[in-house]
C-alpha cells in the first residue's frame, strides 16, 4: 500500500510545502512603509498650504462656541461698550482719533489690546473674552488689517457672534478704499452689515462720521439677520 499523504497544496504534498515562502517580504514591507510616510508628508503639506486658515478658523470658532455656551449659563453684564479690533499699523489713528472721541467726548468704555488684555493669558482667550465682554466690536479695517492673521481671527469670531446672537454687534470702520480682491471672505459679512454699521473715514465732515459711530454704538437691536 502507498504511504498516507496529508492534504495536497497546489498538487504537492503538504509535507513538502516550502515554509520559507510564508516569511514576510522585507523589501515589500519597506516599500509599503515608505509609501505611507510619503503620503502623510504630501497630505500634511497640502493641509498646511491650502487648509491651514480654514482649520485655524474652525478652531477659533469652536472656542468661541464653547465660550458662548459657558457665558449663557452664567450671564454677566458687559464690561465694555466696544472692543476695538485694529492692526498695529493703524494704532496711531486709534489712539489719536478714535479713543479721544469715543471715550473722551462721547463717554464710551472701550477695550483695547495693550491696555486691557490680561498679561500672561493666551492671546486667543483674551480676544474671545474681549469680544463677548463687550456690547459691540469695532473693526478698524484697512489693507494692513485684512493682511493680518490675528485681525482675521478677531473679525471672524465677532462675525460668529453676529450670526449666533442675531444682534447688531459688529461695526466696520473702513479707513481707506480697499480693493475688492483683498476683501476675500469678508464680502458676505460686509454686505450683511452695510445697512446697519458700515462706515468710511472721511477726508472732511468728520463730525457726521463720529455722530454715526455714536448712533451705531447706541443701537442694541436684535433679530437683524
Tell me the per-residue pLDDT of 125-179, one tens digit each, with 9 for 90 and over. Answer: 888 888 888 999 999 988 888 878 778 778 777 777 777 677 778 888 988 877 6
Residue 70 domain flag = no
Residue 69 domain flag = no
Residue 23 domain flag = no
Nearest to 213 by CA among 116, 101, 134: 101
- 3-class state of residue 21 by DSSP: helix
Yes or no: say if 206 and 173 are a contact pair by the CB < 8 Å rule: no
75 or 211: which leads in pLDDT: 211
Residues 219 and 216: their CA atoms lie apart, in Å, by 5
Residue 51 domain flag = no
Looking at residue 223, what is its pLDDT? Answer: 40
Does the predicted model carry a pTM greater than 0.75? Answer: no
Residue 41 domain flag = no
pLDDT of 99 over the 90 cut = yes
pLDDT category of residue 7 using cuts at 50, 70 and 90: very low
CATH label of the domain that carries residue 139: 3.40.50.10140
Yes or no: say if 99 and 110 are a contact pair by the CB < 8 Å rule: yes
Into how many domains does the chain fold?
1
Residue 125 domain flag = yes
Nearest to 193 by CA among 139, 148, 149: 139
Residue 118 domain flag = yes
| Containing structural domain, residue 85 | 79-218
Do the strands 8-9 and 12-13 form a parallel or antiparallel pair, or are they unpaired?
antiparallel
What nine digits make up the cell of 91? Answer: 494704532
Angle at 46 between CA 40 and CA 47, to 5 degrees: 90
Residues 205 and 28: their CA atoms lie apart, in Å, by 76
Crossing angle of helices 123-132 and 149-165, in 10° steps, is 40
Residue 48 domain flag = no
Amino acid at each position: 500500500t502507498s504511504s498516507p499523504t496529508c492534504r495536497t497544496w497546489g498538487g504537492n504534498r503538504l509535507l513538502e510545502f516550502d515554509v520559507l515562502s510564508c516569511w514576510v517580504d522585507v523589501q515589500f514591507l519597506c516599500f509599503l512603509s515608505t509609501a505611507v510616510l510619503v503620503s502623510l508628508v504630501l497630505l500634511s503639506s497640502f493641509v498646511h498650504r491650502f487648509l491651514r486658515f480654514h482649520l485655524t478658523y474652525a478652531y477659533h470658532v469652536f472656542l468661541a462656541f464653547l465660550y458662548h455656551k459657558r457665558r449663557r449659563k452664567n450671564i454677566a453684564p458687559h464690561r465694555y461698550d466696544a472692543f476695538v479690533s485694529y492692526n498695529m499699523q493703524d494704532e496711531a489713528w486709534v489712539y489719536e482719533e478714535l479713543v479721544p472721541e469715543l471715550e473722551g467726548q462721547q463717554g464710551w468704555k472701550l477695550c483695547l489690546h495693550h491696555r486691557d488684555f490680561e498679561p500672561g493669558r493666551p492671546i486667543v482667550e483674551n480676544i474671545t473674552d474681549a469680544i463677548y465682554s463687550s456690547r459691540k466690536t469695532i473693526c478698524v479695517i484697512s489693507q494692513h488689517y485684512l493682511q493680518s492673521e490675528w485681525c482675521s481671527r478677531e473679525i471672524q469670531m465677532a462675525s460668529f457672534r453676529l450670526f449666533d446672537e442675531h444682534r447688531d454687534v459688529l461695526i466696520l470702520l473702513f479707513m481707506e478704499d480697499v480693493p475688492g480682491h483683498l476683501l476675500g471672505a469678508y464680502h458676505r459679512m460686509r454686505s450683511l452689515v452695510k445697512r446697519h454699521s458700515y462706515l468710511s473715514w472721511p477726508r472732511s465732515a468728520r463730525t457726521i462720521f463720529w455722530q454715526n459711530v455714536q448712533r451705531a454704538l447706541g443701537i442694541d437691536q436684535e433679530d437683524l439677520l
